[in-house]
Amino acid sequence: MRMLTFALTKGRLAEKTLDLFEKAGISCTQMRDKQTRRLIFVNEELRMSFFLAKGPDVPTYVEYGAADIGIVGKDTILEEGRRLYEVMDLKFGACRMCVCGPESARELLDSKQLIRVATKYPHIAKDYFYNRRHQTVDIIKLNGSIELAPIVGLSEVIVDIVETGNTLRENGLKVLEEVCPLSARMVVNQVSMKMEDERIRSLITQLRKMI
Ligand code: PRP
């Protein structure tokens, strides 16, 4: 049997992915070892191998077939726009992509003025403002702590992930509009989906029972 390779997202999603896999009887316990510098883990019995990658790299590994399957956030799938199949909503990591800012920015947003939008997700922001709101905006790409942008005057609003809303509250910002709901998804390489159809289908059935 051919080895089925999984690319998992490092960080917040990793732990929950391993929890789900273990519940479904897919053991990759060595991956929980935070000390290890090992990059790839093999479960010989199941003919599966697993590696951790940065979120935005997961769809890349899957599109090129270096991984058959990826577990990654919907935000990253939308932002990266890779050719792959999204086959399952794993439900964990649930949050929302939102347009946020100070209450005073609502007026600017509604009057369709040329505003600046700071975000880690320029494609999602562009799609939302251009295609859904039909509004021309200046998009400024940042790499983290996006909430700083409207506070220090870099932008009027941000497009960012809201989970508990604590970061916004602690910084005097609000959700002004919702772009879309997000959660962890399973993605599959397009060729693997055909070649390993049966195995992947039974994996989905197995995982679905645990969600
Ligand atoms: C994310 C996101 C928000 C925060 C939302 O940032 O960009 O800042 O979490 O969570 P909350 O609604 O529960 O407060 P993350 O911690 O991933 O770090 P980053 O700022 O470096 O992107």
Q: Is residue 164 located within the same domain as residue 206?
A: no
Q: In a mutational test of the pocket of ligand 1, which residue from 100, 142, 162 has the highest number of ligand atoms less than 8 Å from its CB?
A: 162
| Domain match, 103 and 84 both | no
Confidence of residue 55 (pLDDT cuts 50, 70, 90): very high
pTM higher than the cut 0.85? yes
**What strand order describes the sheet that includes 69-73?**
40-43, 48-53, 4-9, 69-73, 184-188, 85-89
Instruction: Give the pLDDT confidence score for residue 57 in this predicted structure.
Output: 98
pLDDT of residue 59 exceeding 90, the answer is yes
DSSP 3: P
Share of the chain above pLDDT 70, in %: 100
Whether 82 and 104 map to the same domain: the answer is no
Q: What is the percent of the chain where pLDDT is above 90?
A: 92
Ligand 1 proximity of 161 Cβ (cutoff 6 Å): yes
| Residue 122 and residue 197 in one domain | no
Give pLDDT tens digits for 117-131.
999 999 999 999 999
CATH number at residue 69: 3.40.190.10
Q: How confident is the model at residue 27 (pLDDT cuts 50, 70, 90)?
A: confident
pLDDT for the residue 95: 98
pLDDT at 162: 98
Domain match, 22 and 70 both? yes
* CA 48 vs CA 45, 57, 91: distances in Å: 8, 20, 23
Same domain, 131 and 65: no
Does 32 score more than 90 pLDDT? no
Report the separation in Å between the CA atom of 203 and the middle of ligand 1, taken as the mean of its atom positions.
Answer: 31
Q: Is residue 9 located within the same domain as residue 85?
A: yes
Q: In whole angstroms, give the CA distance from residue 69 to residue 56.
A: 14
- Domain of 194? 4-93+183-210
Q: What is the mean pLDDT of residues 170-182?
A: 98
Residues 14, 85, single domain; the answer is: yes
> Are 74 and 22 part of one and the same domain?
yes
